[in-house]
Chain A
Amino acid sequence: MAQPLVKKDDDRDDEAEYSPFLGIEKGAVLQEARVFNDPQLDARRCSQVITKLLYLLNQGETFTKVEATEVFFAVTKLFQSRDIGLRRMVYLMIKELSPSADEVIIVTSSLMKDMNSKTDMYRANAIRVLCRITDGTLLTQIERYLKQAIVDKNPVVASAALVSGIHLLQTNPEIVKRWSNEVQEAVQSRAALVQFHALGLLHQIRQNDRLAVSKLVTSLTRGTVRSPLAQCLLIRYTSQVIRESATNTQTGDRPFYDFLEGCLRHKAEMVIFEAARAITELNGVSSRELTPAITVLQLFLSSSKPVLRFAAVRTLNKVAMTHPMAVTNCNIDMESLISDQNRSIATLAITTLLKTGNESSVERLMKQITNFMSDIADEFKIVVVEAIRSLCLKFPLKYRSLMNFLSNILREEGGFEYKKAIVDSIVILIRDIPDAKESGLLHLCEFIEDCEFTYLSTQILHFLGIEGPKTSDPSKYIRYIYNRVHLENATVRASAVSTLAKFGAMVDSLKPRIFVLLRRCLFDSDDEVRDRATLYLNTLGGDGSVVETDKDVKDFLFGSLDLPLVNFETSLKNYEPSEEPFDINSVPMEIKSQPLAEKKAPGKKPTGLGAPPTAPASTVDAYEKLLSAIPEFADFGKLFKSSAPVELTEAETEYSVNVVKHVFDGHVVFQYNCTNTIPEQLLEQVTVIVDASEAEEFSQVVTKPLRALPYDTPGQIFVAFEKPDGVPAVGKFSNMLRFTVKEVDTTTGEAEEDGVEDEYQLEELEVVAADYMLRVGVSNFRNAWENMGADCERVDEYGLGPRESLAEAVNAVINLLGMQPCEGSEVVASNSRSHTCLLSGVYIGNVRVLVRIAFGIDGPKEVAMKLAVRSEDETVSDAIHEIVASG
């Protein structure tokens, strides 16, 4: 019996599976560690045992508290040995064990001795170990040595002290900040990496002092920086300074741009790339500024190194979202990357091309994408789907191949988000490209035959009910819908019943057959399905009673619920069951919808699959409705925020115009509400000419002029701008009202045949950071703050300069941020010298943000504040600080 087992073991030894640690056991190694206590130390053997211990830890083995303490005490004995190799292993071991405070004391003196040793290697390593395990009290004892080490002539020692300083700054900032003179000196070091580490530490010490950072950058950009890493750091700091001084660049060139551009000619690739990336990320970068950066990135595209190609194509992909034209020069190089062995590079290249390419290349690109769709991850696939959707809207003639592509990938494996992205895209194409409707609907029908997501099935059934009856042959969809009634869960079945009813209502010839199907549903096992079937049979007249399929029925089936959902919910909750039926008209409307001057063509109703608008019912709902009725704005996504109207004309002028800013994720729509106050005039072809030259991140995409603006009948003009997705871009827009004016005979109301073109200057309009913030309060700020946690917290201090009063400063900051004050904290007690303000809001991207600001004012009315931001996303926390820093 034992034979085969032994044989197997022999086999194993011969295999490549060999390891010197084969069969290693924690217990045995811990036993071996007793050699550390031998009076005559065997340095080699001790080193081997430590290596074994480290191996175990590295493999994920853990030591119990007792075991760790025993090993630690044993290891401290090894300081007696003068073997340098062993000492190095001892250092590693101590760091891995992360001893407790009382254990640290045991090794402190040994490590301090090493810190002052003649051996540089000891000094450097002892500093790193001691700083890793030390706490604040011990730190004050060794501070003197650390300051010396920072300016030590041995670069390894200096770097060790500086890097330790960077770590310690997180836990003991007040101590590390005292070293700034030494650190400043180390920045001038001739050793490349010392300069890098010193620069990193110095900047962190001074990062809250904008002036000091600016000075540091100014002096270093003129001097010489030796290591490429330090140069990369300097580029990052320079970008930060540029960002913070962005407001006063109106006059001329951007400060430090020349430095960034100069770095594009650096000999190290990492510096060239860092600079190129920094330039592409400048706020409101102009095409002139972009060009040299794009040129070097283009060279990288044909590098033999995958890392370089990836870095370049990833950066260009981002640029293509905002400045597609700037990237078109790289198209040929991008094309060759489609066949790159590295799939990440290929995907990035294709999606970039989809953003910048022309109509003729579409089909070829689609073919190439098809080849590797199965190889890439879902998140990359969604990127491709979205790129294809916008491409299809750009080149509607290509819908056939794009629709085919979408339906093919719809059949393949994929998660919910991916499938939803595809379905949403098909729905948008069906809505916007009439020719695509029939094939698109059939693709969706096929999809629900085998769809595992209830949400998608019900949404598609709803959509079919609206679009299907309007097609040339509605009957062909019935089979797909009725199959759902047999095969699906109750939610989908109920949906299918509603859809059937819609076909019955719209297509008279189908009615008898629909009745048959609905009657079968009366025997369904689910209440909701039976109820719906009964209701629809009744309303459509299928139960034998004489009911005309008239407007009422159609309104009931197709009409949207024209009520604020919140009000509706409250009314239903308040309704007490009684003889009197619930009266839907009793639901308060509260909101006044905007008058629609232009009648939309019927059938152009919003039909996207987006979830129904959520709770906050207000004017937002009305705006949302208004905007979604305009097909050009349909793919802008969900409306994030609409501003209060801003007057662009003085009171009592000939034409009165105000504007509402509607913010979407990647777009901003200006809604100009115009009123003509002159009875003798009829305005025609009314439009607003917007000059966005002071809003570089915005590019105008759509204008919806007003055909006619008669006297005293308000009308709306819409101008839509594209902006970088999710980015809180700001800018100034100047506006000019342009129209043809016709004389009107006030007695007859007839306008003359010929008109005169005219213009009317309007006030300027600004998009500010607060436009990207929703004022949403919380009921219990402290709970919300606590629950949010400190993971993405950012804290910083700001000087606000001299202010009229504390209250004025508080108000200014609240308005700047556009957030909701909580717990009445916007009210400042008179004569108080300090104040804490609590703000809450939702930032673009639906990220909840909480802010706590402590204000203080001193004698000469200088106000300072400490701003703490918590959110679910650290980039958002940073963005809030940026609003304040640049405000």
Chain B
Amino acid sequence: MEMERMNEFPHTQMDRRPAKKDLCPSVKNILLLDSEGKRVAVKYYSDDWPTNSSKSAFEKSVFTKTLKSNARVEAEISMFENNIVIYKFVQDLHFFVTGGDDENELILATVLQGFFDAVALLLRNNVDKREALENLDLILLCLDEIVDGGMVLETDASIIAGKVATHNMDADAPLSEQTITQAWATAREHLTRTLLS
């Protein structure tokens, strides 16, 4: 096949451009905000919001427009700027998952539920802003295990929480004297104290 003539034009970037991820379901962002709309932890997977100010503006608009809704029992849904946003609130925490307007709403809802329940498991049902910030490492690892670059990695909350909480020592390392859970509990306590001081 002779395709050389195609190369007469200097358009090398056109074949390398990161294309839309095919037909795979994709998540554009996951947001965890507090009751004033401030970030607890956010993760963006799409180029739709290239700067921090555009991200903040999106968060502000989504937060304000969903504030009055009652998303505490069942997840709620709305559309913003041609995106679907699914959200659920607990205590002073607001969870959001965003996808494109042609995305299957129920897939996005499953991602949200996975995140929401995994956080509840990791925080032992004390889900509020204070607890979330004190265990921010767990929240960040949790986000990392749910979606990778927009692709859904896992939606089962217990598996996600399980992956985040696997804190046994490296298999190659000698066993520590403490049991793993003890060690981790101490670590967390310690972290809290340091952060408080």
The distance in angstroms between the C-alpha atoms of A306 and B195, with both chains bound, is 40
The distance in angstroms between the C-alpha atoms of A54 and B190, with both chains bound, is 19
Chain B 48-86: CB-based contact to A (< 8 A → 1; otherwise 0): 000010011000000000000110001111110000001
CB neighbours of A203 from chain B (8 A): 22-23
Q: List 26 A-B contacts (CB under 8 A).
A: A18-B130, A60-B56, A84-B169, A85-B187, A91-B144, A92-B141, A117-B170, A119-B171, A128-B148, A156-B163, A159-B153, A167-B148, A203-B22, A204-B22, A204-B24, A229-B107, A270-B104, A307-B76, A311-B105, A342-B69, A342-B78, A790-B14, A852-B6, A856-B1, A866-B3, A868-B11
The distance in angstroms between the C-alpha atoms of A85 and B195, with both chains bound, is 18
Tell me the smallest distance from the CB of A280 to a CB of chain B, in Å: 13
Partner of A836, one of B5, B140, B184: B5
CB neighbours of B167 from chain A (8 A): 84-85
Tell me the A residues contacting B by CB distance below 8 Å: 16, 18-21, 43-45, 47-48, 50-51, 54-55, 58-60, 62, 82-85, 87-89, 91-92, 95, 117-119, 121-122, 128, 132, 156, 159-160, 163-164, 166-167, 170-171, 193, 196-197, 200, 203-204, 207, 229, 232-233, 236-237, 240, 269-270, 273-274, 277, 304-308, 310-311, 314, 341-342, 344, 782, 785, 790, 793, 795, 833-836, 852, 854, 856-858, 864, 866, 868, 874
A59 touches B39 (CB 8 A): yes
Partner of A308, one of B4, B8, B106, B166: B106
Chain B 139-165: CB-based contact to A (< 8 A → 1; otherwise 0): 011001000110111110000000100
Chain B residue at smallest Cβ distance from A836: B5
B140 touches A163 (CB 8 A): no
Of residues 1 to 51 in B, which have CB atoms within 8 Å of A's CB atoms? 1-6, 8-9, 11, 13-25, 39, 41-42
Tell me the smallest distance from the CB of A430 to a CB of chain B, in Å: 33
A233 touches B23 (CB 8 A): yes
The distance in angstroms between the C-alpha atoms of A864 and B75, with both chains bound, is 50
Question: 4 closest Cβ contacts across the A-B interface?
Answer: A20-B195, A270-B106, A60-B52, A854-B6
Chain A residue at smallest Cβ distance from B101: A314
Known contacts A58-B42, A58-B140, A834-B3, then 4 further A-B pairs from the complex at CB < 8 Å, ordered by chain A residue: A16-B92, A19-B130, A167-B148, A270-B106
Known: A44-B191, A58-B41. A119 touches B25 (CB 8 A): no
Chain A residue at smallest Cβ distance from B165: A85
Partner of A48, one of B8, B148, B168, B194: B194
B77 touches A307 (CB 8 A): yes
Q: What DSSP secondary structure best describes chain A's contact surface?
A: helix
Tell me the B residues contacting A by CB distance below 8 Å: 1-6, 8-9, 11, 13-25, 39, 41-42, 52, 55-56, 69-70, 74-79, 86, 92, 104-107, 109-110, 129-130, 133-134, 136-137, 140-141, 144, 148-149, 151-155, 163, 166-173, 184, 187, 190-192, 194-196
B77 touches A344 (CB 8 A): yes
The distance in angstroms between the C-alpha atoms of A128 and B163, with both chains bound, is 15
CB neighbours of A196 from chain B (8 A): 152
B2 touches A856 (CB 8 A): yes
Known: A20-B195, A58-B39, A92-B144. A270 touches B107 (CB 8 A): yes
The distance in angstroms between the C-alpha atoms of A852 and B6, with both chains bound, is 9
Partner of A273, one of B22, B106, B136, B163: B106
B6 touches A166 (CB 8 A): no
The distance in angstroms between the C-alpha atoms of A207 and B23, with both chains bound, is 10
Known: A92-B144, A270-B107, A833-B2. A83 touches B151 (CB 8 A): no
The distance in angstroms between the C-alpha atoms of A311 and B86, with both chains bound, is 11
B151 touches A47 (CB 8 A): no
Known: A163-B153, A793-B17. A341 touches B144 (CB 8 A): no
The distance in angstroms between the C-alpha atoms of A18 and B24, with both chains bound, is 40
B155 touches A19 (CB 8 A): no
Chain A residue at smallest Cβ distance from B134: A20
CB neighbours of A793 from chain B (8 A): 14, 17
Partner of B24, one of A58, A119, A200, A341: A200
Partner of A166, one of B79, B86, B151: B151
A790 touches B18 (CB 8 A): no
The distance in angstroms between the C-alpha atoms of A62 and B51, with both chains bound, is 11
B194 touches A306 (CB 8 A): no
CB neighbours of A240 from chain B (8 A): 23
Chain B residue at smallest Cβ distance from A156: B163
Chain A residue at smallest Cβ distance from B92: A16
B16, B104, B133: most-surrounded residue (chain A CB, <10 A): B104
Partner of A121, one of B15, B20, B154, B166: B166
The distance in angstroms between the C-alpha atoms of A500 and B2, with both chains bound, is 70
A854 touches B3 (CB 8 A): yes
CB neighbours of B24 from chain A (8 A): 166, 200, 204, 233
A836 touches B192 (CB 8 A): no
Tell me the smallest distance from the CB of B53 to a CB of chain A, in Å: 8
Known: A47-B137, A84-B167, A233-B23. A341 touches B14 (CB 8 A): no
The distance in angstroms between the C-alpha atoms of A418 and B27, with both chains bound, is 31
Partner of B154, one of A193, A200, A308, A834: A193
B5 touches A170 (CB 8 A): no
B169 touches A83 (CB 8 A): yes
A836 touches B8 (CB 8 A): yes
CB neighbours of A118 from chain B (8 A): 171-172
B195 touches A21 (CB 8 A): yes
The distance in angstroms between the C-alpha atoms of A171 and B167, with both chains bound, is 34
CB neighbours of B173 from chain A (8 A): 82
Known: A277-B104, A856-B3. A795 touches B42 (CB 8 A): no
Tell me the smallest distance from the CB of B84 to a CB of chain A, in Å: 9
CB neighbours of A197 from chain B (8 A): 151
The distance in angstroms between the C-alpha atoms of A319 and B17, with both chains bound, is 35
A91, A207, A305: most-surrounded residue (chain B CB, <10 A): A305
CB neighbours of B144 from chain A (8 A): 91-92, 95
CB neighbours of B23 from chain A (8 A): 203, 233, 236-237, 240
A55 touches B190 (CB 8 A): no
The distance in angstroms between the C-alpha atoms of A233 and B152, with both chains bound, is 12
The distance in angstroms between the C-alpha atoms of A92 and B92, with both chains bound, is 26
CB neighbours of A858 from chain B (8 A): 1-2
The distance in angstroms between the C-alpha atoms of A44 and B193, with both chains bound, is 12
B69 touches A84 (CB 8 A): no
Chain A residue at smallest Cβ distance from B189: A44
The distance in angstroms between the C-alpha atoms of A795 and B6, with both chains bound, is 12
CB neighbours of B155 from chain A (8 A): 229
Tell me the smallest distance from the CB of A131 to a CB of chain B, in Å: 10
B107 touches A48 (CB 8 A): no
CB neighbours of B86 from chain A (8 A): 307
CB neighbours of A314 from chain B (8 A): 105
Partner of B133, one of A21, A232, A304, A864: A21
Chain A residue at smallest Cβ distance from B187: A44
The distance in angstroms between the C-alpha atoms of A193 and B151, with both chains bound, is 11
Tell me the smallest distance from the CB of B98 to a CB of chain A, in Å: 14
The distance in angstroms between the C-alpha atoms of A852 and B192, with both chains bound, is 60
The distance in angstroms between the C-alpha atoms of A369 and B69, with both chains bound, is 19
The distance in angstroms between the C-alpha atoms of A864 and B149, with both chains bound, is 34
A836 touches B172 (CB 8 A): no
Chain B residue at smallest Cβ distance from A17: B36
B1, B18, B78, B172: most-surrounded residue (chain A CB, <10 A): B1
